[in-house]
Chains A and B, each alone.
Chain A
């Protein structure tokens, strides 16, 4: 009986010693923060906005858990460590997806730029064939000026791609393509009118 009581008392003392002295998972916290920063560093705020937000929310929850445990006598950092480990894993998974998304966005921007260029060149070629001289119904020179207004926009598209603003480049390219197509349409109507008269 006495030895059993001694063993029990010893077990309680050992338990006290381990739980009350448990240390904050500082290393894991730093690693989780670094993992999220790495995602941000790869333009996660552009190419993985939702996932980045989820990681930040999860990190905050893990930090809150660590803070809550640190105020207790019997500290249990196990759950917090699991949360932090999951954040690191998730962040690495998101990081792995970003290069693919960037490449997709780049290809889409370049394709849009090529379409805009094709529309611009098409309108230019049509203007060369357009009826000029006295009696023309449409001012071909005015349309040439319109097309001239698109030249600085073509440069801005290329600048946006160079600066890796692929979404911005794509938006602008689509706008330029539409305007060039509208100019080409006007020129074609002018050509058709003259043909019709003849």
Chain B
């Protein structure tokens, strides 16, 4: 009987001692913190620190488990709580570090996206102004799609993928820029620009010497400038052919001719409001046409073309080679010019033209 009582007493003490007290709240908080750190991408942004944090956390959990093995009255969660508090503090610091790194990464990518976008917008404007309708436009359209994707991926904190898309957008923009520079290749040739400058200088010199009106048309800058007695008097925005930047060679090529011409007729009422007919083709145009035709570069059925005018209809119009202006501006011009007025059409007078300046700026 005594043995039984002793055994029962022993059992009661054992059972009481084995009851688990509630775990310190720090233990549960550390579980949540571990998940938060993983979700924040700690293993990606601060891999070493995250590994060290996990080691400390596991050590704290082991100590907690060891403490739980003791009988109830022998347990002391004091050191366990201290361990987990240290874990929580280091976890909070790590989370702050990860968030700062993410913000920095996001900021860096956003800056990259802004730069690509700025260059893209510049090239968009340039290609429209130059009526470039080929490779540059296609590359810019692709760049815009990649940029859109990069923005979406950044919003999802998928920074690696966003960076790859941004890189592809940048490549497309570079290709577009190369295409634009190739498109205006002639306008970057010093020998060609010098020829155009010579024509311009000679026309202005004549206007000065004779005290007459002369018109200088610059295709790249899309300007028609009126010179009076050798001084710049008025300047107007102008539109050109669908293939305006090329030098007209034959009928149907949609190019605006380059050379020294004169007004041969003033048409007060035309399909495009008012028109000033010029004497394209001149002798140089005929020589060039004949040379290219002999070379076989022009089909035998195609003529040299003609009916090149400066007319109204809007400076933002596209023509088949003519030079178009706003109606109110052609009205002004009509009052200034006469049959015989010199009209010199050049590509550009500037080696450092606005296209190159805009590309350098970005």
Contacts and interface: CB of A to CB of B under 8 A. Distances in A.
Interface in B97-141: 127-128, 131-134, 137-141
A79 to B, nearest CB: 9
A80 B167 CA distance: 49
A136 B141 contact: no
B133 A175 contact: no
Contacts of B34: 57
Contacts of A142: 127-128, 131-133, 137
Interface stretch (A21-29, A84-92, A148-156): A148-156
A146 B137 contact: yes
A64 B58 contact: yes
B142 A152 contact: yes
Interface in A1-42: 1, 4-5, 8
Contacts of A176: 145
A172 interface: yes
A149 B148 contact: no
Contacts of A147: 141
B67 to A, nearest CB: 12
A61 interface: yes
Interface stretch (B197-205, B222-230, B316-324, B337-345): B316-324
B308 to A, nearest CB: 13
A52 B351 CA distance: 62
A179 B144 contact: yes
B3 A4 contact: yes
Interface in A126-171: 134-137, 139, 141-142, 144-150, 152-153, 168, 171
A57 B316 contact: no
Interface residues of B, number: 42
Contacts of A65: 65
B331 interface: no
Contacts of A50: 35, 39
B317 A136 contact: yes
A146 B313 CA distance: 26
B145 A175 contact: yes
Residue among A50, A142, A152, A178 having the largest count of chain B Cβ atoms under 10 Å: A142
B145 A60 contact: no
Contact of B3 (A1, A136, A175): A1
A64 B142 contact: no
A174 B152 contact: yes
A45 interface: no
Nearest to A53: B38
Given A64-B58, A136-B317, A150 B145 contact: yes
A68 interface: yes
A24 to B, nearest CB: 16
B3 A174 contact: no
A192 B258 CA distance: 34
Contact of A179 (B66, B127, B148): B148
Nearest to A61: B61
Contacts of A146: 137-138, 140-141
Nearest to B136: A145
B196 to A, nearest CB: 25
Interface of A: 1, 4-5, 8, 50, 53-54, 57, 60-61, 64-65, 68, 72, 134-137, 139, 141-142, 144-150, 152-153, 168, 171-172, 174-176, 178-179
24 contacts: A53-B38, A54-B35, A64-B62, A68-B62, A72-B69, A134-B319, A135-B272, A135-B318, A136-B318, A137-B314, A139-B128, A139-B318, A141-B131, A142-B133, A142-B137, A145-B138, A148-B137, A148-B138, A149-B138, A150-B141, A152-B142, A153-B145, A171-B149, A175-B149
Given A148-B137, A150-B141, 8 more contacts: A53-B38, A54-B35, A135-B314, A146-B137, A149-B142, A168-B161, A174-B152, A179-B141
Report, nearest first, the 7 A-B pairs whose CB atoms are least far apart.
A149-B141, A175-B148, A149-B138, A145-B137, A141-B133, A175-B145, A146-B141
